[in-house]
Amino acid sequence: MAQLIGGLGTSHIPAIGSAIHKGLQQEPYWKPFFDGFPPIREWLGAKRPDVVVLFYNDHGLNFFLDKMPTFAVGAAPEYNNADEGWGIPTLPPFRGELDLSWHIINTLVEKEFDIVSCQEMLVDHACTLPLKLFWPEGDCPVTVVPVCINTVQFPLPKASRVYAMGKAVGEAIKSWDSSKKVAVIASGGLSHQLDGERAGFINKAFDLQFLDSLETNPEWATQFSIHELVEKTGTQGVELLMWLAMRGALTAAGPKVRRVTGNYHIPISNTATAVLALEAA
């Protein structure tokens, strides 16, 4: 059976793509963010996952307001990157992991999650930037199963539902008939609001409590409704749902996780950034 080795999380602000492209990682503005990654890369270098299941939110590229799935799972041989308007460099296609895609899709439907399966899927900055941040050199060495969660158009899935979906994905990974090593990734957050009266809103106290809860009490955030999460984290801060899905998946690996490393920095662009690695204990 496949091995679920751990979970990673990172923010996915498009400007990160430009900073990488321009080589600005050591500039004073960017350094506190990029400094979070070497310890994670060291852990990845030691653990060497073959496959990642990546929880992310499409921002209006592959899914627009006319057709908006709550949960969508990629089942494509490769995923092409496009950009829905941020002007960042397009990355080469990422390789899929078809067998795991279909095993996750079968498992989710069996467990009564009504997902959309996508045999073609364009992926935006939320899917590509974490891969570039974790594996900056050359071609991405892992294959990918992207799992998209709607945070764009209401109604959004509530936190407890997302956590349960993550758990089901974790169970699918654990029951996958393969000798491969799998990691789960959360892309998004933490607190941010890009528009409206509260543009620039950041809630450090909530973010830090949330990060702590992922280690010690992973169901803590499931007590909040979507509207409470928007109030506490900003309209785009609800991207923290990805982190809940990632943590839900890790429950399939065991009752506890170990924090390998983490970083929190305010702000990059309009966003409170976080980076985290959790190892299945």
Residue in 103, 161, 192, 265 binding ligand DHB, rule: CB under 6 A: 192
Q: From the list 107, 193, 233, 236, which residue makes contact with ligand DHB (rule: CB under 6 A)?
A: 236
How many chain residues are in contact with ligand DHB, going by CB under 6 A?
12
Region binding ligand DHB by CB under 6 A among candidate stretches 1-9, 132-140, 195-203, 268-276: 268-276
User: Given 12, 59, 125, 265, which residue is catalytic?
Assistant: 125
Helices 226-233 & 240-250, crossing angle to 10 degrees? 120
Do residues 184 and 52 lie in contact, with contact meaning Cβ atoms separated by under 8 Å? Answer: yes
Q: Please report, as residue ranges, which positions from 13 to 42 form the binding site for ligand DHB (by CB under 6 A).
A: 13-15
Measured from the CB atom, is 86 or 154 closer to ligand DHB? 86
For 101-222, where are the E strands, in sequence order? 116-118, 143-149, 181-187
Which residues have a Cβ under 8 Å from the Cβ of 148 and sit 6 or more positions away? 56, 57, 58, 62, 63, 69, 71, 72, 73, 74, 121
CA separation, residue 276 to residues 214, 232, 273 (Å)? 10, 21, 10
Assess 270 for contact with ligand DHB (CB under 6 A): yes
Q: Looking up tokens 């900055």, which residue turns up?
A: 125
125 given a catalytic annotation: yes
Dist CA 164 CA 159 (whole Å): 9
Count Cα atoms within 13 angstroms, Cβ side, for 245. 31
Nearer to ligand DHB, 233 or 236 (CB): 236
Verify binding: residue 59, ligand DHB, rule CB under 6 A: yes
Does residue 132 belong to the site contacting ligand DHB (CB under 6 A)?
no
CB 40 within 8 Å of CB 134 = yes
Among the listed residues 22, 199, 269, 281, the single contact to ligand DHB using CB under 6 A:
269
CB of 12 to ligand DHB, least distance (A): 6
Q: If DSSP states are collapsed to H, E and C, what string results for 70-87?
A: CEEEECCCEECECCCCCC
Q: Which stretch binds ligand DHB (CB under 6 A): 177-185, 220-228, 253-261, 265-273?
A: 265-273
- Please give the positions annotated as active site: 125, 192
> Site residues (CB under 6 A) for ligand DHB?
12-15, 59, 192, 194, 236, 239, 269-271
